[in-house]
Amino acid sequence: MTPRVLLATGNGKKLTELRRIIDEYDMDVDVICLKDIEPYPEPDETEWTFAGNALIKARQGMIHSGLPSLADDSGICVDALGHMPGVRSSRWNGPEEEDIANLELVLRQVEDVPRGRRQAQFVSVMALVMPDGREFTTRGVMTGHLTTRPKGSHGFGYDPIFVPDDQVPDADGRLRTTAEMTAEEKDAISHRGRSVRAMLPILARQLGLPLPEGLSEEDLDLPGADHEGPETTLPASEWTASIPAIPRTRPATDPARPQPRPAEPSSGITPLEP
């Protein structure tokens, strides 16, 4: 019997992209989505990390469906904005989650940033939660820079203003935004493509399926993809517990206060579009 897996997302464009990448490897898996199961309230994304929010969505999907559940959390991290919007990417201009409004706000916030210092990274974390409580996450990163205006009509979110580093220039030698690329070109280098490809061998192992051809558990060396897990799971009774309050921090002048780790630099000054 073909195993079923829930893809716990209500974003139709993201669902299409995720399914397209999974189908690329011809896995014998029946991927269903939220509209195929009994509706349940969308969980609040209360964590401050992509991994935390991806796990929230995958856990809720598993609880309400009883199936192995995948979920993704992703966003754009702009160097000049202190690596924001980050987990707030889809709500950067407010809770309405409007792509154009979010994109335009980011462009206004960096309009005085020199063209050689507009580095950014797309980040995606894919989470898998199994019915027996095992949890896994994988991470994909795509580095690049922001344009000064939207270009292209494909993709979604911040695609029209993001130029990835890892691409082949077009016939005129110009670098393109991800919104100017075909779906296949984008999938080959995207943050989500990398996190999904890193997850597929894990999913195959958990479902007792052959490893997808071209991917290996022992050699997940996809550029920008990190493998995390398996992780110790919480008891099911704790999965739906409220997030504990964030403790009050010490004043900034307190010498005993732990200092944050410096942010890792991005790939340096990237080539800019003409």
Contact indicator for 36, 68 with CB cutoff of 8 Å: no
CA Rg, the chain, in Å? 19
- Residues annotated as binding site? 9-14, 44, 73-74, 156-159, 186, 191-192
Secondary structure class of 13 (helix, strand, coil): helix
Residue with tokens 């010490």: 250
Contact indicator for 113, 163 with CB cutoff of 8 Å: no
- Residues annotated as binding site for substrate? 9-14, 74, 156-159, 186, 191-192
- Residues annotated as binding site for Mg(2+)? 44, 73
Could you tell me the CA-to-CA distances from 113 to 120, 145, 176, 266 in Å, in that order?
Answer: 12, 12, 20, 16
Dist. CA 274–CA 264, nearest whole Å: 28
Given its phi and psi angles, is residue 112 left (phi above 0), alpha (psi -120 to 50 degrees) or beta?
A: alpha
Stated as kind and residue range, the H or E segment containing 135 is strand 135-146
The active-site residue, picked from 73, 166, 187, 226, is 73
Q: Quick one: 171 exposed, middle or buried, by C-beta within 10 A (0-12, 13-18, 19+)?
A: exposed
Phi, psi of 225 (to 5 degrees): -105, 130
Contacts of 256 by beta carbon, 8 Å cutoff, 6+ apart:
250
Dist. CA 35–CA 38, nearest whole Å: 8
- Assess whether 73 carries a catalytic annotation: yes
Catalytic residues: 73
